[in-house]
Amino acid sequence: MTAMPINSPSPSAIVLDPVVHAANLSALQYVDGVLNMDGLALDVLAERFGTPCYVYSADAMTAAYREYTDSFASVPHQICYAVKANSNLAILHLLAQLGAGFDIVTGGELARVLAAGADPSRVVFSGLGKQPADIARALAAGIACFNVESEAELARIDRVAGEIGKRAPISLRVNPDVDAKTHPYISTGLKENKFGISHQDALRVYQQAASLPNLDVVGIDCHIGSQLLDAQPFADALAKVVELIEALVQIGIHLQHIDLGGGLGVRYIDEQPVSVAQFAEYLLPTLKRLDMKLYLEPGRSLVANAGVLLTRVDILKPSAHKNFAVVDAAMNDMIRPALYQAEMGVIPTRLTDDAQPAKTWDIVGAICETGDFLAKNRVLSLAADDVLAITGAGAYGFVMASNYNSRPRACEVLIQDGTAHLIRARETVESLWQLEHIIK
Protein backbone atom coordinates (compact mmCIF):
# COMPACT_ATOMS: atom_id res chain seq x y z
CA MET A 1 0.00 0.00 0.00
CA THR A 2 1.43 3.36 -1.06
CA ALA A 3 0.28 6.52 0.74
CA MET A 4 0.88 9.92 -0.81
CA PRO A 5 0.03 13.36 0.60
CA ILE A 6 -2.02 15.40 -1.82
CA ASN A 7 0.77 17.93 -2.19
CA SER A 8 3.10 15.30 -3.69
CA PRO A 9 3.57 15.08 -7.46
CA SER A 10 1.00 12.86 -9.14
CA PRO A 11 2.43 9.38 -9.86
CA SER A 12 0.07 8.68 -12.74
CA ALA A 13 -1.06 10.09 -16.04
CA ILE A 14 -3.89 12.03 -14.42
CA VAL A 15 -3.24 15.75 -14.02
CA LEU A 16 -4.10 17.27 -10.64
CA ASP A 17 -5.40 20.81 -10.43
CA PRO A 18 -2.22 22.72 -9.43
CA VAL A 19 -4.07 24.60 -6.71
CA VAL A 20 -4.30 21.45 -4.57
CA HIS A 21 -0.56 21.38 -4.07
CA ALA A 22 -0.74 24.38 -1.74
CA ALA A 23 -3.86 23.44 0.18
CA ASN A 24 -3.64 22.66 3.89
CA LEU A 25 -5.55 19.39 3.98
CA SER A 26 -3.91 17.12 6.52
CA ALA A 27 -6.94 14.80 6.69
CA LEU A 28 -6.55 13.87 3.00
CA GLN A 29 -4.03 11.64 1.28
CA TYR A 30 -3.89 9.35 -1.72
CA VAL A 31 -3.49 5.66 -0.92
CA ASP A 32 -2.73 3.56 -4.00
CA GLY A 33 -4.22 6.31 -6.13
CA VAL A 34 -7.45 6.64 -4.10
CA LEU A 35 -8.17 9.80 -2.14
CA ASN A 36 -8.70 8.93 1.53
CA MET A 37 -9.99 10.94 4.47
CA ASP A 38 -8.88 9.50 7.80
CA GLY A 39 -8.25 6.16 6.12
CA LEU A 40 -11.57 5.85 4.29
CA ALA A 41 -11.81 6.01 0.49
CA LEU A 42 -13.90 8.99 -0.55
CA ASP A 43 -15.10 7.46 -3.81
CA VAL A 44 -16.46 4.52 -1.80
CA LEU A 45 -18.28 6.97 0.50
CA ALA A 46 -19.69 8.69 -2.60
CA GLU A 47 -21.16 5.36 -3.73
CA ARG A 48 -22.51 4.57 -0.26
CA PHE A 49 -24.10 7.92 0.55
CA GLY A 50 -24.61 9.40 -2.93
CA THR A 51 -23.56 12.80 -4.23
CA PRO A 52 -23.47 15.67 -3.57
CA CYS A 53 -22.29 14.83 -0.06
CA TYR A 54 -20.39 16.72 2.62
CA VAL A 55 -17.80 14.60 4.45
CA TYR A 56 -16.07 15.82 7.62
CA SER A 57 -13.12 14.58 9.69
CA ALA A 58 -13.64 14.47 13.46
CA ASP A 59 -9.89 14.02 13.92
CA ALA A 60 -9.11 17.21 11.97
CA MET A 61 -11.64 19.23 14.00
CA THR A 62 -10.25 17.86 17.24
CA ALA A 63 -6.69 18.74 16.25
CA ALA A 64 -7.72 22.26 15.25
CA TYR A 65 -9.52 22.82 18.56
CA ARG A 66 -6.58 21.55 20.59
CA GLU A 67 -4.22 23.83 18.70
CA TYR A 68 -6.16 26.76 20.15
CA THR A 69 -6.32 25.41 23.69
CA ASP A 70 -2.63 24.50 23.68
CA SER A 71 -1.53 27.82 22.19
CA PHE A 72 -3.42 29.91 24.76
CA ALA A 73 -2.82 27.60 27.74
CA SER A 74 -0.76 30.23 29.58
CA VAL A 75 -3.80 32.51 30.14
CA PRO A 76 -7.30 31.71 31.44
CA HIS A 77 -9.37 31.22 28.32
CA GLN A 78 -12.52 29.79 26.77
CA ILE A 79 -12.66 28.78 23.10
CA CYS A 80 -16.22 29.41 21.85
CA TYR A 81 -16.84 27.80 18.47
CA ALA A 82 -18.74 30.11 16.09
CA VAL A 83 -21.81 27.99 15.34
CA LYS A 84 -22.60 29.82 12.10
CA ALA A 85 -19.63 28.10 10.40
CA ASN A 86 -21.19 24.62 10.62
CA SER A 87 -24.13 23.94 12.91
CA ASN A 88 -24.67 20.18 12.53
CA LEU A 89 -25.60 18.68 15.91
CA ALA A 90 -22.97 15.95 15.69
CA ILE A 91 -20.21 18.50 15.17
CA LEU A 92 -21.51 20.68 18.01
CA HIS A 93 -21.61 17.61 20.26
CA LEU A 94 -18.06 16.66 19.31
CA LEU A 95 -16.77 20.12 20.20
CA ALA A 96 -18.81 20.25 23.42
CA GLN A 97 -17.22 16.96 24.48
CA LEU A 98 -13.80 18.54 23.92
CA GLY A 99 -14.71 21.40 26.28
CA ALA A 100 -15.63 24.05 23.74
CA GLY A 101 -18.01 26.86 24.40
CA PHE A 102 -20.14 28.31 21.62
CA ASP A 103 -20.62 31.69 19.98
CA ILE A 104 -24.23 31.99 18.82
CA VAL A 105 -26.04 34.72 16.90
CA THR A 106 -29.69 33.55 16.97
CA GLY A 107 -32.18 31.81 19.19
CA GLY A 108 -32.11 28.92 16.75
CA GLU A 109 -28.40 28.46 17.32
CA LEU A 110 -29.00 28.58 21.08
CA ALA A 111 -31.53 25.75 20.73
CA ARG A 112 -29.05 23.78 18.61
CA VAL A 113 -26.14 23.99 21.05
CA LEU A 114 -28.38 23.05 23.97
CA ALA A 115 -29.75 20.09 21.99
CA ALA A 116 -26.15 19.04 21.30
CA GLY A 117 -25.38 18.93 25.02
CA ALA A 118 -23.45 22.18 25.37
CA ASP A 119 -22.81 23.75 28.77
CA PRO A 120 -24.83 27.01 28.62
CA SER A 121 -22.35 28.70 30.95
CA ARG A 122 -19.86 28.50 28.07
CA VAL A 123 -22.16 30.18 25.53
CA VAL A 124 -21.81 33.79 24.37
CA PHE A 125 -24.68 35.39 22.45
CA SER A 126 -23.55 37.75 19.67
CA GLY A 127 -25.48 39.23 16.73
CA LEU A 128 -27.38 42.42 16.06
CA GLY A 129 -31.03 41.40 16.23
CA LYS A 130 -31.54 39.46 19.44
CA GLN A 131 -35.29 39.00 19.90
CA PRO A 132 -36.90 39.38 23.36
CA ALA A 133 -37.99 35.74 23.45
CA ASP A 134 -34.47 34.59 22.58
CA ILE A 135 -32.97 36.84 25.25
CA ALA A 136 -35.35 35.35 27.82
CA ARG A 137 -34.45 31.80 26.78
CA ALA A 138 -30.75 32.57 27.00
CA LEU A 139 -31.15 34.08 30.46
CA ALA A 140 -33.19 31.10 31.63
CA ALA A 141 -30.50 28.73 30.31
CA GLY A 142 -27.76 30.67 32.13
CA ILE A 143 -25.44 31.69 29.30
CA ALA A 144 -22.07 33.30 30.00
CA CYS A 145 -22.60 36.65 28.32
CA PHE A 146 -24.49 38.74 25.78
CA ASN A 147 -22.24 40.63 23.35
CA VAL A 148 -24.26 43.82 22.93
CA GLU A 149 -24.25 45.57 19.56
CA SER A 150 -26.29 48.75 20.17
CA GLU A 151 -27.80 51.02 22.81
CA ALA A 152 -31.28 49.89 21.82
CA GLU A 153 -30.28 46.27 22.41
CA LEU A 154 -28.80 47.22 25.80
CA ALA A 155 -32.17 48.63 26.87
CA ARG A 156 -33.99 45.56 25.50
CA ILE A 157 -31.83 43.12 27.44
CA ASP A 158 -32.25 45.13 30.64
CA ARG A 159 -36.04 45.20 30.17
CA VAL A 160 -36.35 41.46 29.46
CA ALA A 161 -34.07 40.58 32.37
CA GLY A 162 -36.20 42.70 34.70
CA GLU A 163 -39.42 41.10 33.48
CA ILE A 164 -38.22 37.59 34.33
CA GLY A 165 -36.32 38.49 37.48
CA LYS A 166 -32.82 37.83 36.14
CA ARG A 167 -29.59 39.78 35.89
CA ALA A 168 -28.04 39.70 32.43
CA PRO A 169 -24.24 39.42 32.04
CA ILE A 170 -23.20 41.70 29.19
CA SER A 171 -20.19 42.94 27.31
CA LEU A 172 -20.18 45.61 24.64
CA ARG A 173 -19.02 44.71 21.17
CA VAL A 174 -16.79 47.64 20.35
CA ASN A 175 -16.11 48.51 16.74
CA PRO A 176 -12.43 49.58 16.75
CA ASP A 177 -12.40 50.84 13.13
CA VAL A 178 -9.56 48.48 12.19
CA ASP A 179 -9.17 47.36 8.58
CA ALA A 180 -8.95 43.58 8.55
CA LYS A 181 -7.92 43.63 4.86
CA THR A 182 -10.37 40.90 3.96
CA HIS A 183 -13.31 40.58 1.56
CA PRO A 184 -15.74 43.49 2.15
CA TYR A 185 -18.64 41.10 2.78
CA ILE A 186 -16.80 39.54 5.75
CA SER A 187 -15.23 42.69 7.17
CA THR A 188 -16.90 43.66 10.45
CA GLY A 189 -14.57 46.07 12.28
CA LEU A 190 -14.77 49.25 10.21
CA LYS A 191 -16.93 52.23 11.16
CA GLU A 192 -19.03 51.75 8.02
CA ASN A 193 -19.90 48.18 9.03
CA LYS A 194 -23.20 47.47 10.79
CA PHE A 195 -21.61 45.71 13.73
CA GLY A 196 -20.79 46.92 17.21
CA ILE A 197 -20.66 50.21 19.09
CA SER A 198 -18.22 52.83 17.85
CA HIS A 199 -14.97 53.20 19.73
CA GLN A 200 -15.66 56.85 20.51
CA ASP A 201 -19.07 56.07 22.03
CA ALA A 202 -17.96 53.06 24.07
CA LEU A 203 -17.17 54.79 27.38
CA ARG A 204 -20.51 56.57 27.43
CA VAL A 205 -22.43 53.40 26.62
CA TYR A 206 -20.52 51.44 29.28
CA GLN A 207 -21.55 54.06 31.83
CA GLN A 208 -25.14 53.72 30.62
CA ALA A 209 -24.93 49.92 30.95
CA ALA A 210 -23.53 50.18 34.47
CA SER A 211 -26.49 52.36 35.47
CA LEU A 212 -29.15 49.89 34.33
CA PRO A 213 -30.62 47.82 37.17
CA ASN A 214 -30.76 44.39 35.58
CA LEU A 215 -27.35 44.18 33.92
CA ASP A 216 -23.96 42.93 35.08
CA VAL A 217 -21.17 44.51 33.02
CA VAL A 218 -18.60 41.72 32.79
CA GLY A 219 -16.60 42.08 29.58
CA ILE A 220 -15.56 43.78 26.38
CA ASP A 221 -15.78 42.27 22.90
CA CYS A 222 -14.56 43.03 19.39
CA HIS A 223 -14.64 41.15 16.09
CA ILE A 224 -13.02 42.75 13.07
CA GLY A 225 -13.72 40.28 10.28
CA SER A 226 -13.25 36.82 8.87
CA GLN A 227 -10.54 34.98 6.93
CA LEU A 228 -7.76 37.17 8.37
CA LEU A 229 -4.33 35.95 7.30
CA ASP A 230 -2.17 38.25 9.44
CA ALA A 231 -2.07 38.80 13.21
CA GLN A 232 -1.41 42.54 12.91
CA PRO A 233 -5.10 43.58 12.59
CA PHE A 234 -5.85 41.57 15.75
CA ALA A 235 -2.99 43.33 17.53
CA ASP A 236 -4.25 46.73 16.36
CA ALA A 237 -7.75 45.93 17.63
CA LEU A 238 -6.37 44.63 20.93
CA ALA A 239 -4.44 47.87 21.46
CA LYS A 240 -7.62 49.90 21.06
CA VAL A 241 -9.55 47.60 23.38
CA VAL A 242 -6.81 47.89 26.02
CA GLU A 243 -7.12 51.68 25.86
CA LEU A 244 -10.82 51.34 26.65
CA ILE A 245 -10.22 48.86 29.48
CA GLU A 246 -7.79 51.27 31.11
CA ALA A 247 -10.20 54.19 30.67
CA LEU A 248 -13.03 52.13 32.19
CA VAL A 249 -10.94 51.40 35.28
CA GLN A 250 -10.53 55.13 35.76
CA ILE A 251 -14.29 55.55 36.00
CA GLY A 252 -14.76 52.57 38.28
CA ILE A 253 -15.84 49.89 35.77
CA HIS A 254 -13.79 46.72 36.17
CA LEU A 255 -14.24 43.96 33.61
CA GLN A 256 -13.70 40.22 34.03
CA HIS A 257 -13.03 39.13 30.47
CA ILE A 258 -11.87 40.27 27.05
CA ASP A 259 -13.34 38.71 23.91
CA LEU A 260 -11.28 39.06 20.74
CA GLY A 261 -13.81 37.33 18.50
CA GLY A 262 -12.71 35.01 15.74
CA GLY A 263 -11.80 35.38 12.10
CA LEU A 264 -8.42 33.66 11.84
CA GLY A 265 -8.07 32.54 8.24
CA VAL A 266 -7.33 29.20 6.62
CA ARG A 267 -5.51 28.12 3.50
CA TYR A 268 -7.96 27.30 0.72
CA ILE A 269 -5.58 27.53 -2.23
CA ASP A 270 -2.34 29.48 -1.78
CA GLU A 271 -3.20 31.75 1.16
CA GLN A 272 -0.54 31.96 3.86
CA PRO A 273 -2.44 32.42 7.13
CA VAL A 274 -0.61 32.90 10.38
CA SER A 275 -0.74 29.73 12.49
CA VAL A 276 -2.71 29.62 15.71
CA ALA A 277 0.56 29.30 17.64
CA GLN A 278 1.99 32.39 15.91
CA PHE A 279 -1.28 34.23 16.48
CA ALA A 280 -1.10 33.41 20.19
CA GLU A 281 2.56 34.37 20.46
CA TYR A 282 1.71 37.76 18.97
CA LEU A 283 -1.05 38.51 21.50
CA LEU A 284 -0.05 36.72 24.71
CA PRO A 285 2.33 39.35 26.15
CA THR A 286 -0.47 41.93 26.22
CA LEU A 287 -3.07 39.43 27.41
CA LYS A 288 -0.87 38.32 30.32
CA ARG A 289 -0.46 41.92 31.48
CA LEU A 290 -4.25 42.39 31.41
CA ASP A 291 -4.82 39.43 33.74
CA MET A 292 -8.34 38.88 32.39
CA LYS A 293 -10.06 35.77 31.06
CA LEU A 294 -9.79 35.50 27.28
CA TYR A 295 -12.68 34.47 25.05
CA LEU A 296 -12.02 33.52 21.42
CA GLU A 297 -14.69 32.65 18.84
CA PRO A 298 -13.08 30.68 15.99
CA GLY A 299 -15.32 29.09 13.40
CA ARG A 300 -13.79 28.63 9.96
CA SER A 301 -10.35 27.75 11.33
CA LEU A 302 -11.80 24.82 13.30
CA VAL A 303 -13.86 23.18 10.57
CA ALA A 304 -13.17 24.49 7.04
CA ASN A 305 -10.32 22.19 6.06
CA ALA A 306 -11.85 19.31 7.98
CA GLY A 307 -14.47 18.90 5.26
CA VAL A 308 -14.96 18.24 1.56
CA LEU A 309 -17.98 18.37 -0.73
CA LEU A 310 -18.10 15.27 -2.94
CA THR A 311 -19.64 15.77 -6.35
CA ARG A 312 -19.91 13.61 -9.45
CA VAL A 313 -19.16 14.78 -13.00
CA ASP A 314 -22.42 14.52 -14.92
CA ILE A 315 -21.53 15.67 -18.41
CA LEU A 316 -18.55 17.31 -20.09
CA LYS A 317 -19.21 20.19 -22.43
CA PRO A 318 -15.97 21.19 -24.19
CA SER A 319 -15.86 23.89 -26.82
CA ALA A 320 -13.32 25.97 -28.72
CA HIS A 321 -13.81 28.86 -26.27
CA LYS A 322 -14.53 27.26 -22.90
CA ASN A 323 -14.69 23.80 -21.38
CA PHE A 324 -17.46 23.13 -18.85
CA ALA A 325 -17.64 20.16 -16.51
CA VAL A 326 -21.24 19.97 -15.27
CA VAL A 327 -21.35 18.32 -11.84
CA ASP A 328 -24.25 17.30 -9.61
CA ALA A 329 -23.38 19.86 -6.91
CA ALA A 330 -24.17 23.51 -7.56
CA MET A 331 -24.20 26.99 -6.08
CA ASN A 332 -27.06 25.99 -3.79
CA ASP A 333 -24.67 23.48 -2.17
CA MET A 334 -21.63 25.79 -2.07
CA ILE A 335 -22.34 29.50 -2.46
CA ARG A 336 -18.88 30.80 -1.49
CA PRO A 337 -17.37 30.88 -5.01
CA ALA A 338 -20.30 32.90 -6.39
CA LEU A 339 -20.83 35.10 -3.31
CA TYR A 340 -17.25 35.79 -2.22
CA GLN A 341 -15.29 34.92 -5.38
CA ALA A 342 -13.75 32.19 -3.22
CA GLU A 343 -11.32 29.73 -4.80
CA MET A 344 -11.48 26.20 -3.42
CA GLY A 345 -9.44 23.15 -4.34
CA VAL A 346 -10.86 20.56 -6.74
CA ILE A 347 -9.32 17.10 -6.31
CA PRO A 348 -10.10 13.84 -8.15
CA THR A 349 -10.93 11.05 -5.73
CA ARG A 350 -9.19 8.45 -7.89
CA LEU A 351 -6.00 8.56 -9.97
CA THR A 352 -5.95 6.29 -13.01
CA ASP A 353 -3.35 5.43 -15.63
CA ASP A 354 -5.88 5.70 -18.47
CA ALA A 355 -6.85 9.28 -17.69
CA GLN A 356 -8.13 11.64 -20.33
CA PRO A 357 -5.81 14.41 -21.58
CA ALA A 358 -5.76 17.39 -19.24
CA LYS A 359 -7.80 20.44 -20.14
CA THR A 360 -8.74 23.68 -18.46
CA TRP A 361 -12.26 23.33 -17.06
CA ASP A 362 -14.88 25.45 -15.36
CA ILE A 363 -16.60 23.25 -12.75
CA VAL A 364 -20.27 24.28 -12.89
CA GLY A 365 -23.65 23.12 -11.64
CA ALA A 366 -26.97 22.67 -13.42
CA ILE A 367 -28.72 25.68 -11.84
CA CYS A 368 -30.13 28.23 -14.24
CA GLU A 369 -27.68 31.01 -13.28
CA THR A 370 -24.42 32.12 -14.88
CA GLY A 371 -23.09 32.52 -11.34
CA ASP A 372 -23.55 28.80 -10.72
CA PHE A 373 -19.94 27.64 -10.57
CA LEU A 374 -17.74 25.88 -8.04
CA ALA A 375 -14.38 26.61 -9.66
CA LYS A 376 -13.02 28.25 -12.79
CA ASN A 377 -10.04 27.58 -15.02
CA ARG A 378 -8.88 24.38 -13.34
CA VAL A 379 -6.44 22.09 -15.15
CA LEU A 380 -7.79 18.57 -14.72
CA SER A 381 -8.06 15.23 -16.46
CA LEU A 382 -11.79 14.55 -16.34
CA ALA A 383 -14.28 11.98 -17.55
CA ALA A 384 -18.00 11.67 -16.98
CA ASP A 385 -18.84 9.91 -13.70
CA ASP A 386 -15.59 10.99 -12.00
CA VAL A 387 -16.05 11.93 -8.35
CA LEU A 388 -14.38 15.18 -7.30
CA ALA A 389 -13.69 16.56 -3.82
CA ILE A 390 -14.24 20.28 -3.31
CA THR A 391 -11.96 21.17 -0.42
CA GLY A 392 -12.46 23.63 2.43
CA ALA A 393 -16.15 22.70 2.58
CA GLY A 394 -16.36 22.14 6.33
CA ALA A 395 -17.23 25.81 6.93
CA TYR A 396 -19.97 27.86 5.27
CA GLY A 397 -20.99 24.95 3.05
CA PHE A 398 -24.14 23.21 4.19
CA VAL A 399 -25.08 26.07 6.55
CA MET A 400 -25.42 28.42 3.57
CA ALA A 401 -27.07 25.84 1.31
CA SER A 402 -30.51 26.48 -0.18
CA ASN A 403 -33.26 24.74 -2.11
CA TYR A 404 -32.97 27.04 -5.14
CA ASN A 405 -34.42 25.41 -8.27
CA SER A 406 -36.19 23.01 -5.86
CA ARG A 407 -32.98 21.11 -5.25
CA PRO A 408 -32.89 18.97 -2.08
CA ARG A 409 -29.96 19.75 0.19
CA ALA A 410 -27.12 17.24 0.33
CA CYS A 411 -26.42 14.77 3.12
CA GLU A 412 -23.65 15.19 5.71
CA VAL A 413 -21.24 12.48 6.89
CA LEU A 414 -18.79 12.56 9.80
CA ILE A 415 -15.80 10.21 9.97
CA GLN A 416 -15.11 9.43 13.61
CA ASP A 417 -13.04 6.60 15.10
CA GLY A 418 -12.55 5.06 11.66
CA THR A 419 -16.27 4.89 10.83
CA ALA A 420 -18.35 7.05 8.49
CA HIS A 421 -21.60 8.16 10.17
CA LEU A 422 -24.55 9.75 8.38
CA ILE A 423 -25.19 12.84 10.53
CA ARG A 424 -27.82 14.44 8.30
CA ALA A 425 -29.92 12.56 5.76
CA ARG A 426 -30.34 13.88 2.25
CA GLU A 427 -33.55 15.85 1.75
CA THR A 428 -36.20 14.46 -0.57
CA VAL A 429 -37.98 16.51 -3.19
CA GLU A 430 -41.30 15.80 -1.43
CA SER A 431 -39.96 17.25 1.83
CA LEU A 432 -39.45 20.61 0.17
CA TRP A 433 -43.16 21.42 0.14
CA GLN A 434 -44.24 19.85 3.42
CA LEU A 435 -44.95 23.27 4.94
CA GLU A 436 -46.73 24.63 1.85
CA HIS A 437 -50.48 24.64 1.27
CA ILE A 438 -52.55 24.83 -1.90
CA ILE A 439 -55.61 27.06 -1.63
CA LYS A 440 -58.63 25.31 -3.17
> Does 404 count as an annotated binding residue?
no
3-to-58, 154, 205, 365, 437 alpha-carbon distances in Å: 20, 56, 58, 32, 54
DSSP 353: T
Burial of 140 (0-12, 13-18, 19+ CB in 10 A): exposed
Choosing from 53, 145, 222, 368, the catalytic residue is 368
> Does 396 count as an annotated binding residue?
yes
> Does 289 count as an annotated binding residue?
no
181-to-105, 221, 236, 265 alpha-carbon distances in Å: 24, 20, 12, 12
> Does 297 count as an annotated binding residue?
yes
> Does 300 count as an annotated binding residue?
yes
* DSSP per-residue string spanning 11-48: SSSPPPPGGGGG---TTEEEETTEEEETTEEHHHHHHH
Burial of 345 (0-12, 13-18, 19+ CB in 10 A): buried
Which parts of 183-304 are beta strand (E)? 197-198, 215-221, 257-259, 293-296
Question: Is 368 annotated as catalytic?
Answer: yes
Please tell me the distance from the alpha carbon of residue 139 to that of residue 126, in angstroms, as a whole number.
14
> Does 151 count as an annotated binding residue?
no
Is 60 strand, coil or helix?
helix
Q: Are 197 and 140 in contact (CB under 8 A)?
A: no
> Does 263 count as an annotated binding residue?
yes
What amino acid positions are annotated as catalytic residues? Answer: 368
- Annotated binding-site ranges for substrate: 300, 336, 340, 369, 396
Binding-site residue ranges:
263, 297-300, 336, 340, 369, 396
Binding annotation for pyridoxal 5'-phosphate? 263, 297-300, 396
